Amino acid sequence: MTQVKVEVSLYEQDYLLWIEDVVNKLRNRDIEDLDFDNLIEEIESLGRSDKRELESRLRELLEHILKRNYVNMPDCYRGWVESIIKQRIGIRKLLKDSPSLKPYFSEVFDEVYADALQIVRKSYPQCYFPDTWPFSRDIEAMLNVDFWE
């Protein structure tokens, strides 16, 4: 019986070591030995990660703006406003690092609003929440306007 030796790539063996290896090869301009397939996959995933982060932060921002506006629980206002501030800071920093995400903000707004609406309606069935976003969708407004004042 012959044994087949399966070669496991560095990427599969030790991700951190693979990253260090790729960085060293890039610094040394050693493009001949680069693991292009995995490098391309990793770079693509960075963009997807930023998009997912933007969606997540926007969803939480919308949830808490909705709660602050439509849920009559004054004892919770402070926590919701705090969360709104944190998400706005996070979105601002993300857009500063990747300004090309700004069109994506508008592109996913309706889908993210639908998700936020599903969450708040489930959590607060006694409260009314509008089917469509009732305030400005402009990025600057979303990051600066206190819609409840």
pLDDT tens digits, one per residue of 24-77: 999 999 999 899 999 998 888 877 889 999 999 999 999 999 999 999 999 999
Residue 5 has pLDDT above 90, yes or no: no
Q: How far apart are CA 81 and CA 77, in angstroms?
A: 6
Asked whether residue 88 is assigned to any structural domain, the reply reads: yes
Asked whether residue 83 is assigned to any structural domain, the reply reads: yes
Segment 9-21 mean pLDDT: 88
Asked whether residue 20 is assigned to any structural domain, the reply reads: no
Alpha carbon distances (Å) from 114 to 1, 20, 26, 123, 131: 59, 41, 43, 14, 8
Amino acid letter, residue 66: L
Q: Is the full-model pTM beyond 0.85? A: no
Residue 136 has pLDDT above 90, yes or no: yes
What is the reported pLDDT for 15? 86
What residue numbers bound the domain in which 72 lies? 50-144
Segment 74-103 mean pLDDT: 96
Residue 3 has pLDDT above 80, yes or no: no
The number of distinct structural domains making up the chain is 1
Neighbours of 32 (CB within 10 A): 6
Q: How far apart are CA 48 and CA 42, in angstroms?
A: 10
What is the reported pLDDT for 43? 87
pLDDT tens digit string along 109-127? 999 999 999 999 999 999 9
Q: Are 136 and 145 in contact (CB under 8 A)?
A: yes
Asked whether residue 94 is assigned to any structural domain, the reply reads: yes
Asked whether residue 60 is assigned to any structural domain, the reply reads: yes
Asked whether residue 41 is assigned to any structural domain, the reply reads: no
Give the whole-number percent of the chain exceeding pLDDT 90. 78
Residue 82 has pLDDT above 90, yes or no: yes
Answer positive or negative: Cα dihedral of 137, 141, 145, 149: negative
Neighbours of 35 (CB within 10 A): 16
What is the reported pLDDT for 1? 59
Q: How far apart are CA 53 and CA 47, in angstroms?
A: 10
Alpha carbon distances (Å) from 73 to 18, 34, 76, 127: 51, 57, 6, 11
